[in-house]
Amino acid sequence: MLSSTARERLTRIGATLFERGWLSSNNILITGSSGASALIDSGYCTHADQTVDLVEKGLGGRRLGLLLNTHLHSDHCGGNAALQRRHPALQTLIPSGSAEAVRLWDTEALSYASTGQQCPRFSFDGIVRPGENLRLGDWTWEVHGAKGHDPHAIVLFQPDNSVLLSADALWQNGFGVVFPELEGLSAFDEVGQTLDCIESLSPEVIIPGHGGAFEDLQLALERARSRLRRFMEFPEQHLRHAHKVLIKFKLLECKSINFQHLLRWVEQTPYLAKAASSKEPARTQWLEELIFDLERSQAIKREGDLILDL
């Protein structure tokens, strides 16, 4: 639970946190004394109607003028298209490194094909770059690069009130899957550099991409660095963790699935298919072991051939 001082900081900057489940990223609505309001990230597409409703209630009759994505994983921008339909004059800003992929709607480069996830096509009006400043509500925010989880990700820092929107670069208990590593690209060092950048900013309130807002920066960094050291020493642990995350995401989306249907989905999902093919002829056993791990951690439940989300 946030302290009264932290809550006062969020009120002062006009920030309202819509904390979502793990299928959808958090959404942060920022309102000001004048002008249009801004929304940071829009959740997954299956929750798009809920996102629109939450934003409408949070606006309280104000105008939504800006939609800004910290990065373009499907759980952070899946509601973009619905919000653009609801607010035709909405300006959408995305990280500069993703602009060409969105312009071409390259679902491989945007990771949607690779992860087996959905994202309705959306447009954008401008880009944001690390080192720039943005006016959100009544305050100026700094844009910082946050490579690692996604090579083009950004975080946003409001220095006057010491508030950080950390997206998936830092959670209270870790950070997001380091997706470039799944493609054979070295990115663990970049995760460490991003954590160092966040530490140098010394935010007093952190709103992550998933989970509640928190204040204990040093404890979160300690947990994140411990996890990073483990993954760097044993990269196969990160790979296995990523596979379980993708399967859990699928269960969050579909709620339940037959084992054979899940296996077929795995075979059609590049990030998983590559791992599955390397396990031949024990591919089915490999998937069974991942499901067992998820069930043991109470992330899913199995009833015969049916896999259910929890």
Structure tokens at 303: 């009833």
Q: How many residues does the chain have?
A: 310
Question: If DSSP codes are grouped into helix, strand and coil, which group holds residue 15?
Answer: strand
- State residue 118's pLDDT score: 97
- State residue 25's pLDDT score: 98
Residues sharing a CB contact under 8 Å with residue 60, sequence separation 6 or more, in sequence order = none
One-letter amino acid for residue 273 of the chain: A
pTM, rounded to two decimals: 0.96
- State residue 212's pLDDT score: 97
- State residue 104's pLDDT score: 98
Identify whether the C-beta of residue 139 lies closer than 8 Å to the C-beta of residue 28. no
- State residue 108's pLDDT score: 96
- State residue 207's pLDDT score: 98
| Segments of the chain scoring below 70 in pLDDT | none
The values of phi and psi at residue 277, to 5°, are -65, -30
Q: Which domains does the chain have, with CATH numbers?
A: 4-233 (3.60.15.10), 239-309 (1.10.10)
The values of phi and psi at residue 155, to 5°, are -125, 160
- State residue 1's pLDDT score: 86
